[in-house]
Structure 1
Amino acid sequence: MDFKYIKLISAIVDCGSITKAAQVLNLTQSALSHQLKEAETLNGIKFFTRSNRKLNLTPAGKMVYDVSGKILPEISKLEVNLKNFNSLKHGTIRLSAACSTSYHWLPKLLQSFKSEYPNVDLEIILENSANPVNEIIKGKIDISIIISPIENENIDYKFLFKDELVVVFSEHHKFNKKQYLIAKDFIDEHLIIHSKPLDTVVFYEQVLKPKGIEPFKISELPLTEATIELIKVNYGVAVMSRKSIEPFIKNDSISIKKINPKGLYRNHYAAILKSSNHPEYLEKFISYLSRGL
């Protein structure tokens, strides 16, 4: 039996008349009468008898009404729960970070968000970070933190923050004598990068490549701590976020310098699926991400 007929019969009984029930259900009296007749025709049974302009439940009508007392509260509860899933209360956020080792602030941020929204689960998806736009479109991740937006009609980019990239090197390196570093300084250097391809490395794309500079050697090493240990023994240099490297320079065994006179900065964006129906908690989480630095 169609749910709308159960709701209709329940309203008639509770309101005591078709006229009042029609008002509650936002129907005209004739529309409600038509639906009642339709329900009786489809089921081949009468739900009401009429005497002295009053509607009385038949045994079949009473059966439907008794069941409605169990069904309608559950439907109402379901509707509330569904609204909660679309608001701030429940859900899952799958997050991908293209350069997760640079986001030293991320664990603390996630902890703060979880304390405010304990029923929203957070999953960090590392294996999909190489091609986040496609993964978002496929529905495999919800948000990706990226630094190089790829124009796509299905993706929205929300600016989060800007950070500075600096050169990191040993305290015994010749770079210590310079005020700042430029592209040609890296011709004879072993450059350690977080990951390939090179066109995703901001320093390479914006500083070295335009000047036609290729370092003597380029190595890929995704672990920040391991990179730092190599730099300490003067086995290469790296370009990292100033904020992420600050905790490591307290021991004075490594140094940092600006890139170019005005420095090198990069923007970070949250990439999400273009939609007007995102859960409210997703938008709230993006506002948390914007506090990153």
Structure 2
Amino acid sequence: MDVLERSHLKVIQAVAREGSLTAAGLRLNLTQPALSHAIRKIENQLGVKVWRREGRSLVLTQAGEWLLSLANRMLPQFELAEKRLEQFGNGERGTLRIGMECHPCYQWLLKVVSPYLERWPKVDVDVRQKFQFGGIGALFSNEIDLVVTPDPLYKPGLKFTPVFDYELVLVVGPQHPLRGEKFISPEQLAGETLITYPVPSERLDIYTQFLQPAGISPRQQKQIETTDIMLVMVAHGRGVTALPGWLVEEYAQRFELSPVKLGKKGIAKQIFLGCRDTDDDIFYLQDFIRFAASHH
């Protein structure tokens, strides 16, 4: 068996992702005959069947599935290494890839990114929300450089810096009967329609820190992706939602909304920026963390 090459992994990943030789060939800038030849060459070089044909489709064998898993882990590492070398050669030129595990934090991030780009004219910013294995997994696999999260998961090799505190509040519309209450109990949400972002309930503080400990569920849950539409729905009496207090203040003039404390003590939260320990020497990344902590 010959040596496994990076090009082999690229072909395996492209065919698996695209689902057809034609689409995979376009991604790899290869004609379909050239890609078919590359596939035969890979199997001959490695001495193992990587694909089997089912009708017109190519399906990965057990060995192929293992190689695809390897490709998904290793190819981002190669890309990162090449980008890092390019940055060293160009004098801190690169892309800061930020992963978001906090839907409402986009408004805050916009305020930070704009002046940050002024400070670092050779650095671009890319923001990602969807990851194969969550934000922490994306850090470990080098899909992203920073994760914005309200729920840090402390693991060896990662560090988290708190950048600001906030209170999670219930948001109600102008005609809602809970408007004006000093605080509410979980039981008062049993008959409500709760509007949330499209994430599992185990990742929503309104459930984990307020409703579930009391054994309460809302009458109905609606999932909406964008903050603006969520708040329009709340303002028109279609339900209630839970958001950071600072965000409600920003939207209060656009929509007639009122925040209500969740329980007598409220729900206090923090936003953290997480990064890899090994990235301490990337100056523009560390500066973003310091800059973000001073702008909220």
Q: Is the structural similarity TM-score above 0.5?
A: yes
1:96-147 deviations in Å (ceiling 9; x for gaps): 1112433312112111011111011111112229701111111110000011
CA contact (8 A) 1:85 1:279 kept: no
Of the structure 1 ranges 123-132 and 141-150, higher mean CA displacement relative to structure 2 is found in 123-132
Match in the other structure for 1:7? none
1:212 and 2:179 correspond: no
Counterpart-to-counterpart distance in 2, 1:211 and 1:133: 29
- From 139, 143, 157, give the equivalent of 1:136: 139
- From 180, 191, 201, give the equivalent of 1:198: 201
Q: CA deviation at 1:89?
A: 3.4
CA RMSD of aligned residues (A): 2.4
CA contact (8 A) 1:170 1:233 kept: yes
Match in the other structure for 2:122? 119
Which has the greater radius of gyration? 1
- From 239, 264, 267, give the equivalent of 1:264: 267
Counterpart-to-counterpart distance in 2, 1:115 and 1:179: 42
What is the one-letter code of the residue matched to 1:264? I
1:250 and 2:253 correspond: yes
What is the one-letter code of the residue matched to 1:182? S
Helix, strand or coil at the partner of 1:122: strand
Counterpart-to-counterpart distance in 2, 1:110 and 1:265: 25
Helix, strand or coil at the partner of 1:149: coil
Q: CA deviation at 1:291?
A: 2.9
Q: CA deviation at 1:152?
A: 2.0
Counterpart-to-counterpart distance in 2, 1:210 and 1:273: 33
Match in the other structure for 1:171? 174
Q: 1:206 to 1:97 in 2, by over 3 A?
A: same
Q: How many residues get paired? A: 213
CA contact (8 A) 2:235 2:255 kept: no
CA contact (8 A) 1:88 1:281 kept: no
Q: CA deviation at 1:82?
A: 7.0
CA contact (8 A) 2:184 2:263 kept: yes
Q: CA deviation at 1:292?
A: 4.3
Counterpart-to-counterpart distance in 1, 2:284 and 2:107: 23
1:96 and 2:96 correspond: no
Helix, strand or coil at the partner of 1:234: coil
The TM-score with structure 1 as length reference comes to: 0.67
Q: 1:254 to 1:88 in 2, by over 3 A?
A: farther
Of the structure 1 ranges 157-166 and 243-252, higher mean CA displacement relative to structure 2 is found in 243-252
What is the one-letter code of the residue matched to 1:162? D
- From 213, 235, 250, give the equivalent of 1:232: 235
1:54-104 deviations in Å (ceiling 9; x for gaps): xxxxxxxxxxxxxxxxxxxxxxxxxxx979739983222100111243331
Q: Percent identity?
A: 21
Match in the other structure for 1:107? 110
1:288 and 2:291 correspond: yes
Q: 1:226 to 1:161 in 2, by over 3 A?
A: same
Match in the other structure for 2:158? 155
Q: 1:280 to 1:251 in 2, by over 3 A?
A: closer
Of the structure 1 ranges 236-245 and 276-285, higher mean CA displacement relative to structure 2 is found in 276-285
CA contact (8 A) 1:87 1:279 kept: no
Helix, strand or coil at the partner of 1:247: helix
Helix, strand or coil at the partner of 2:265: coil
1:181 and 2:184 correspond: yes
Counterpart-to-counterpart distance in 2, 1:86 and 1:265: 44
Q: CA deviation at 1:252?
A: 6.3
Q: 1:94 to 1:234 in 2, by over 3 A?
A: same
The TM-score with structure 2 as length reference comes to: 0.66
